[in-house]
Structure 1
Amino acid sequence: MKSTNLRTHIRRFVLPPASSIQRRPTDVIYFILGAVVLFSTSLILFATRGHFEVLDLDLFRLINALPDSIAQIAWALMQAGSLAAVPIVVLLALLAGRVFLARNLLAGGLAAWVLNKVVKVLVNRGRPGDLLEEVIVRGGTAEGLGFPSGHVTVAAALATIASPYLSRRVAWLSWLLVGLVALGRIYVGAHFPIDAIGGVALGVMLGALTNLLLGVPHEDLAQQHIREGFKEYGIELKDVVPVSDDARGSRPYFAKAMDGTEYFVKLLGTEHRNADFLFKIWRSLFLKNVVNSAPFLTPKQQAEHEAYLTLLARSHEVRTPEVEFAARVGDAYALLVQKRVRGETLTEASTLDDALMTELWQQVKQLHEANIAHGDLRLANILVDEQGKPWLIDFGFADGGVGPTELSQDSAQLLASLAKVVGPERAVASALAVLGAEAVRQCVPGMKPVALSSATRADLKEEPDLLDNIREEVIKQTGNDIEEERSVLRIEPKSVLWVVGLGIGVYLLLPQIGELGQVVELWKSLDFPWLVAGLVTSALTYVMATVTQFGAQQAKLPFWPTFLAQFAASFANRFGPRGIGAAVLLEQYLEKMGLKRRSAITSLTLKTVAGIIVHVVAMLLTISWLGLENVELLDKIEMWHLWLLLTIVVAALAYVFSSSERTEKIKYSAKGAWRDLVATLKQPRKALQLCGGAVGMNLFYMATFLFSMWALDVDVSPLTVAAVYLAGEIIGSASPTPGGIGVLEGAFVAGFKAFGISSEAAVAGVLLYRLLTFWLPILPGFFAFHYMQDKEYI
């Protein structure tokens, strides 16, 4: 009998029933917050290596100087974060009969102890006794590295794992203990305050990850809460049935009373709120001109907010279900109860005729006339009753008293959702019939994927051209053009990149400012024959760009306009992020020459791909010929440089592929470029133009750079110039500033210094090269730009 019981306990320990497990949205938030804090504190330590933050040092001195009389108490409290605490809390959980909790505590506690050691090695931060004088060390000198605190990491991980099993009061006491462990480690002189903060962050992150991976046992009391809430209003329920609808931030149910009355019930709880928390925070912080409901409402406040806006909409004769009541149930839940309307949502509807769409737009118009924006007008939130009438449901994201921009964004969501089902032509026609031409035109500029629902964005993966087709259909049916696209982002990624790019450029160039006097002296002794040679090779780069363009598409292009287009493109590049201005102008030119938009984009992508391949091959050949054993810069690279580079690369890739629309466009362009590249390589003449032009551009740019250095009598070899140019261009290509201003100059100067060229000679040569290739072409580019406009080439 005992053997059977033991076997049963072991089976429960290893593989608990799946029905008893949940993955909480709260743990996702904890994991992200922990990761952000850990990364931020680590970055602070990397940036201030060898220095101390004043607040960190002052707090350490203050806590470390507390009386010796509390040393024994501090030592006892600190044991809650020791490795020995893990088996103790595991045993306590087993004695309490919480086998799942014991399993999670064991896994998470050991993981916290081990991974803390890994992070310590990566950050490589000493303890106070190693870095400061006059540190009061109590209980023996702690060994090893300091950041993050191991005791605090283990304590925070155990508290995070245990919190879902504890009452609110006991959970708060467990976190008070974590704080006391942190204070104790600072008090005994083992850690700085920032070490303790990092320990809390790492512990929370690992504890949350443990609960996410292994799950937390969960008893579903939703139906019990619903029945209790109805009882408070004197209503006995016969049935409570969960609904499978896509409801954000809540759990929907159908309820039936003893008298046969049917209700629609939304149960809102803290977990439901947290599931939507990150989404609402992101919309509030990063999106503008869209409807953003407050992310910090309690479940009761959220229920009351939705009930109020639903009642307000009904008072303006908008067809939406009648509100019965909104009430709080238990400590962490609230109910919103409405009369049930039998029907099906538009996601389930088999047909969608013009009369139904017209009636739907009429409901939206009445809603907007009341200055209410629904905030989530997707097909799942449109209900068609048994008489075929549309109802607007789920006002969870709605807001009142909004402006015309938010209302037009509301219409944009519905227009995009309908267009996916019935096509842009019918969707636009139905909106025009009710809203009018001006209102429909106003909703198109802000029709960006980032502002649409996740369901609509998923549909865009199947039809990446849907939004462009809607725009074209609106222009066609209204007979008027549409205003420029309206930004829906508070902080544009390009703005962030501008700041980062300029910051890097300033960082690289600032040390050279003190040598500007010597740079001016070098310029006074210019060797003009070499300067003229540099001017000629700089001009030849545009000829090579023209040749490359000839090879990038099958259509035949005239030489003179295509040559001028390269100058005009360089002019356009001076006023926008690197490469963007030129790409837009050349795309317009190719379309004027008869290419379809997709073909023009593919042609430019092919040109770019050819340039990248030639550049990389040239870089590899240069490295193999030159060797890197004499490059001084490599000896100065520190670990934090590599971490910073990795962070920038990951952030850039995350931005590029965070948008399904961008990803689809990249895939489409890449496939088209690969197809055209294969086709081009099968045609010797086209292949020679494409590859030969790309090689020629690189060679003439390198020649210009070499002649610029020789014009200043700088003793440098062609191979060195090639290495600096090729490496610098790779770094500069990541800069968002026009022409890589700041970043490119800094990269070139650092490159020459790595090869032993003096700072003043490097700065003088780089500035002269940039004068020949970046600044002087602005004037002919300006005239070429206006000439092509006059001739309607662009």
Structure 2
Amino acid sequence: MTPTHDDAVARKGAASPGEPAGEEPEVRAEDPAEDPTEDPGEAERRLAAFRAAAASTVHEPSQPQRIRRPADAIKFAASVAGVVGVLLLVNFAKGTTLGLQTDIREGTKQAPHLLLSLATLISSFGVLAVPVAFAVERLLRRDGLRVAVALLAAVIAFALTVLLDGWEIPAAPGGVLDSLIWGGSRTAPLHTDITPVIAFVTAVRMTGRPRWQAITWTMIGLAALTGLTAQYASVSALAATYFLGRAIGYGTLYAVGTPNPRPPGTAVMAALRRLGVVPARARRLPDLDEVRRYGVAAADGGRLGEAARDAARPGAEWQLEVTVLDRDQQTAGMPYRVWRLVRLRDRSTRRAVRSLRRSLEQESLMAYALRSAGARTPRLLGTSDVGTEAALLAYEYVPGRTLAALSDDELTDPFLIDIWRQMELMQAARLAHRRLEQGAVLRGDDGAAWIVDLRAGEVAATDLVLRLDLAQMLTTLALRVGAERAVAAAAEVLGARALATAAPLLQRVALNRDTRSALRHDRELLTRIREQILRLEPEIEVPPVRLERFRPRTIISIIALTIAAYIVFPQVSNVDIGGLLANAEWWWVAVGVAGSAATYLAAAWMLMGFVPERLPLGRTLLVQMAASFVKLVAPAAVTGVALNTRYLQRAGIRPGPAVASVSASQLTGLAIHVLLLVLFGFITGSADNATKNLAPSRMIVIVLLAVAVATGIAAAIPPVRRRAADRLRSMFSGVVPRMADVLQSPRKLITGFGGTLLLTAGFVLCLDASIRAFGGELEWTAVVVVFLTANAVGSAAPTPGGLGAVEGALAFGLTISGLPKETATSAVVLFRLLTFWLPVLPGWAAFTYLQRKEAI
């Protein structure tokens, strides 16, 4: 009979470290009859059980012959990043790279000529001969598929290097690659003799054959040294060649796939026999993320078989649950784990990259520690390697279902309390689970709570990590039974004070990925959990915890700011800043500074007027100044709303009223902005002056009608109408009650509306003073229209602070209003300098002060 793939992998997976791959090890139990001290009847019974187990069957789906390994994708991305890094390095440090090249050339001149010639001769022959010899050796061992994949990678590498060489030299002589990496030499920029070899070696996988690896990379290194001494290659070029070859090799491996190294169930059962378990039958259970699971029924006999039989529940189908850790899966999810470790300040001892051995030891230690603490978790019966590509952990089998599979009726209060009793034992022993999601809690058939899935466990956990576990468990249970029941059950076991320590950690960033996804359907759940905890212990004060080192939107904002800089730079690149400052009339510059400063006082009054509660003027003014710093990393329409809402919440106003107050101020500001634009646009368009081009034209009317028709059509579509209504309702649901509270106080009303008008007046005064500082002059009505139009454009722009959009709109508006282009450009630069750039430094100081005082 022809052996199947699973049989071959089973033989390979069952091999011990000292046995050659591909040979089936002998799995043999000692004959009990040979032991003179053992009862012959007992020996015969055990021998019969072992022989029956040797024919045990494993029911599992057939495994694919080839798989795509996550590690190959990660290494491909890292190699591509290496190529990009080399290009950036030589672009920004050209002198350094050329200096290094010169030092190497001068250094190699001191080497004996005979030695260099010998190295050249050996590398010229060996760089191709060694890979060919390895390929022949693999073919003789009937491993031709591996050689074919590696050959494909070499062909792709050769074709790509030839293509790039042929395109770069004729099309861009003296270009970036030629001048920066290769120092202007007229040789081919990519090395067609080394790149295919590196790609071949990468794709053929010489792992486990250190001699072949050492010889091959020695030949490649000698070839690189030859290129350096002969002055037709540089360090930068060789580095780029290395990363390119590796990228092609790993990319080919991931695209084509590699032979499946995961041992099948038969190899797992063979490893169990070496542990003393005599499996009679086994079945593949549903996988748990990155690990495989098997249910195993042990025969009567064997050391661990007897232990498993003693631990078995009455009527249980299986006695053991075997978890298999596959080496190729250890890198799965590594980018996400690295991201979490870099982003979060949890002071954890976890590692993003774990070896198979470390993963096995970590889970084993957690299982033993949890049992020792008295928590209810399946007993770990044994561990073992499964060849060189996997390892197993044999647990006692606990029949039951996880939280995700339970119905709402089964989530009774006694069961919830039992879960928290297990958490209490874990917390007392300083054991952190780190993955307390719905798959980590099991309800046994007897109704008891069990803690499972210990892969990410941590012993001797810090206080912060233990509090994170509490926050995660609270959220997991609240997603199923609601915030009130989850908090009530936890408080009955742990107490209100222990829960209060977890309240500051109820942040989305602190929770696991699946939990964050579930919270998208209930965005207010974390707030309700905090409110329930505060009801239990209203007097306790727990300091907030900052978990994030940075936020993803910070990176996005930096990218947007860079793009915005490219948008603005062409507009001001031809402006002589020195001449601009020298020719400016400083009296009007001082007036512009006063107008810019008045806008912050106006913004503070605007917010205070629409908040029924009393707010201190000084701190509110500092918040508006801090917004000028935050504008650097977020669009203009977002910063004020987010920062003011945060400030109101810190001032003791509940989230709902805080959002409603800010929304009321923004809605009022928008309404006044539109009314002023219409009013002054009409006045300006009716006047016979130089600004008549700003009067409403036929095109504006057509645009307005088109917008109205599009809005009507959208409103006629029920899904679109409902979505828009829900969005507006959620945004302004509390605006009317807050406005009613404001209308009852004439002082608040005057403060809010006065601040809104003063805000516009301050900006208009600053813009008019900027124009007059360079000898320009416009009707004040035209200045108002230009500012209101540009401000609307900047609020809609996605760039930080409206960069690019505001400058373009202001320059265009001032130019068509009759101002000379040079004067308009200078006025716009001064206006943005006074209102956007100069306030950044005091805004940063205000932002830092408010954070230290925990006011935002």
User: What range describes the TM-score normalised by the shorter chain of this pair?
Assistant: 0.5 to 0.7
Query: In 2, Cα distance between the equivalents of 1:32 and 1:697?
Result: 50
In the TM superposition, residue 61 of structure 1 has moved relative to its aligned partner by 5.2
Which runs of structure 2 are paired with 1:22-61 in the superposition (5 Å)?
22-49=67-94, 52=97, 54-55=99-100, 57-59=102-104
Partner of 1:267: 324
Structure 2: distance between partners of 1:776 and 1:282: 32
| 1:507-526 map, 5 Å | 526=586
Q: Which deviates more from structure 2 when the two are superposed, residues 585-594 or residues 284-293? A: 585-594
* SS across alignment from 1:347: helix
Q: Given residue 25 of structure 1, which amino acid in structure 2 is its aligned partner?
A: P
Alignment of 1:548-587 (within 5 A): 570-574=624-628, 576=630, 578=632, 580=639, 583-585=642-644
Aligned match of 2:405: 348
Indicate if the aligned counterparts of 1:291 and 1:397 stay in contact, CA closer than 8 A.
Answer: no
| Residue equivalent to 1:439 | 498
Kept in 1, the 8 Å contact 2:94–2:180? The answer is: no
Does residue 281 of structure 2 align to residue 281 of structure 1?
no
Which whole-Å deviations, capped at 9, do the CAs of 1:554-573 have from their partners, x for residues lacking one? xx999x99999996752342
Deviation at 1:775, TM superposition (A): 9.2
How far off is 1:381 after superposition?
1.4
Q: Which amino acid in the other structure matches residue 479 of structure 2?
A: K
Residue 763 to residue 420, structure 1, CA distance change in 2 (3 Å): closer
d(CA) in 2 for partners of 1:114 and 1:42?
17
Distance in structure 1 (CA, Å) of the matches to 2:180 and 2:336: 44
**How far is the alpha carbon of 1:97 from its aligned partner?**
6.0
Going from structure 1 to structure 2, the CA distance change for 1:700 and 1:213 (only over 3 Å counts) comes to farther
Instruction: Indicate the residue corresponding to 2:148 in structure 1.
Output: 102
1:70 pairs with 94, 119, 135, which one?
A: 119
Partner of residue 322 from structure 1, selected from 379, 382, 385: 379
Tell me if 1:221 matches 2:260: no
Task: Report the secondary structure of 1:154's partner residue.
Answer: helix
Change (3 A) 1:110 1:428: same
Q: Residues 403 and 557 of structure 1: is their aligned pair in 2 closer, same or farther, counting only changes over 3 Å?
A: closer
Give the TM-score, by structure 2 length: 0.62
Q: Who is 1:256 aligned against? A: 297
Residue by residue over 1:354-376, the C-alpha shift from the partner in whole angstroms, topping out at 9 and shown as x without a partner, is 11110111111111101111121
Structure 1 position 412, deviation (Å)? 1.2
Superposed, which structure 2 residues align to 1:761-776 within 5 Å?
none
Q: 1:403: Cα distance to partner? A: 2.1
| Residues 112 and 153, structure 1, Cα contact 8 Å, conserved in 2 | yes
Query: Using a 3 Å threshold, how does the CA distance of structure 1 residues 337 and 600 change in structure 2: closer, same or farther?
Result: farther
Q: Which amino acid aligns with 2:402?
A: T
Relative to structure 1, the CA distance from residue 757 to residue 427 in structure 2 (aligned partners, 3 Å threshold; closer, same or farther) is: same
Superimposed CA distance per residue, residues 524-576 of structure 1 (whole angstroms, 9 cap, x where no aligned partner): x5245x754774587589879999999xxxxx999x99999996752342565
Shift, 1:58, TM fit:
3.3
| 8 Å contact kept, 2:327–2:390 | yes
The answer on whether the counterparts of 1:313 and 1:367 sit within 8 Å (CA) in structure 2 is yes
Separation of aligned partners in 2, 1:231 and 1:696: 84
* 1:607-636 deviation digits (Å, cap 9, x = unpaired): 99999999xxxxxxxxxx99xxxxxxxxxx
Q: Where does residue 393 of structure 2 map in the other structure? A: 336
CA distance in 2, matches of 1:613, 1:26: 56
Residue matched to 1:710: 772
Q: Which amino acid aligns with 1:74?
A: S
Match of residue 203 from structure 2:
161
Distance in 2, matches of 1:452 and 1:563, equals: 37
Question: Is 1:404 aligned with 2:445?
Answer: no
Distance 1:269 1:492 in 2: 33
Number of residue pairs matched by the alignment: 670
Q: Work out the CA distance in 1 between the residues paired with 2:440 and 2:280.
A: 27
Q: In structure 2, what is the Cα distance between the partners aligned to 1:519 and 1:321?
A: 77
Contact 2:161 2:191 in 1 (8 A): no
Q: Kindly indicate whether the alpha-carbon contact (under 8 Å) linking 2:279 and 2:297 is maintained by their aligned counterparts in 1.
A: yes
Contact 1:326–1:334 (CA under 8 A) maintained in structure 2:
yes
User: Of 423, 427, 448, which residue of structure 2 is paired with 1:389?
Assistant: 448
Query: Residues 565 and 159 of structure 1: is their aligned pair in 2 closer, same or farther, counting only changes over 3 Å?
Result: same
- Match for 1:193: what amino acid? V
Question: What does the per-residue CA deviation read over 1:51-110, in whole Å, with 9 as the maximum and x for residues that have no partner?
Answer: 6364455346546876244333333455589xxx99x97999799563476257426742
Cα distance change of structure 1 residues 493 and 26 upon mapping to structure 2, 3 Å threshold: closer
Q: CA 1:300–1:310 in 2, change beyond 3 Å: closer, same or farther?
A: same
Counterpart code for 1:253:
Y
SS in 2 for 1:274: coil
Within the candidate set 501, 507, 516, 1:448 is matched to: 507
Paired residues of 1:56 and 1:193 also in contact (CA < 8 A): yes
Determine the structure 1 residue equivalent to 2:160: 114
Tell me how far apart the structure 2 counterparts of residues 115 and 536 of structure 1 sit (CA, whole Å).
Answer: 61
**1:129-183 superposed Cα distances (whole Å, 9 cap, x missing partner):** 99659x9xxxxx623xx3x655544333333322189856546655555545544
Inter-CA distance 726–543: structure 2 relative to 1 (3 Å threshold):
closer
Structure 1 pair 479–547 and aligned structure 2 pair: CA distance change class (3 A)? closer
Distance 1:546 1:670 in 2: 31
1:321·1:341 contact (CA, 8 Å) conserved in 2? yes
Between stretches 174-183 and 270-279, larger displacement belongs to 174-183
C-alpha change, 1:557 and 1:360, in structure 2 (3 Å) is closer
1:672 maps to 2:727: yes
1:306 Cα deviation after fit: 2.0
Deviation at 1:601, TM superposition (A): 7.1
Q: Residue 639 of structure 1 aligns with which residue?
A: none
| CA separation of 1:142 and 1:318: change in aligned 2, threshold 3 A | same
After the TM superposition, which residues 705-784 of structure 1 pair with which residues of structure 2 at under 5 Å, given as runs? Answer: 705=767, 707-708=769-770, 710-711=772-773
What is the root-mean-square deviation of aligned Cα atoms in Å? Answer: 6.1
Aligned residue among 388, 413, 424 for 1:365: 424
Change in 2 beyond 3 A, CA 1:610/1:330? farther
Conservation of the 8 A alpha-carbon contact between 2:629 and 2:843: no
1:423-476 Cα distance to aligned partner (Å, 9 max, x none) = 111111111111111111211212333332222122123223322222223223
Q: Distance in 1 between matches of 2:669 and 2:210?
A: 59
Match of 1:662 in 2: none
For the residues of structure 1 that align with 2:355 and 2:615, how far apart are their CA atoms? 64
- State the partner residue of 1:379: 438
CA distance in 2, matches of 1:707, 1:377: 61
Q: CA 1:286/1:153 → structure 2, altered by over 3 Å: closer, same or farther?
A: farther
Unaligned runs of 5+ in 2: 1-61, 309-318, 633-637, 676-692, 695-721, 736-754, 816-820, 851-855
Once residues 466 and 760 of structure 1 are traced to their aligned partners in structure 2, the CA distance between those partners, rounded to angstroms, is 52
1:711 Cα deviation after fit = 2.2
Q: Answer yes or no: is 1:470 the counterpart of 2:470.
A: no
Please state if 1:211 is matched with 2:242. Answer: no
Distance 2:351 2:392 in 1: 18
Check if 1:233 corresponds to 2:275: yes
Find the residue that maps to 2:411 and give its secondary structure: coil
Matching residue of 1:635:
none
Q: Secondary structure at the match of 1:475?
A: helix
What amino acid is the match of 1:19? P
Identity value in percent: 21
Distance 1:668 1:156 in 2: 55
CA distance in 2, matches of 1:149, 1:671: 61
Counterpart CA distance in 2 for 1:715 and 1:72 is 80
Following the alignment from structure 1 to structure 2, what is the Cα–Cα distance between the partners of residues 694 and 107?
Answer: 66
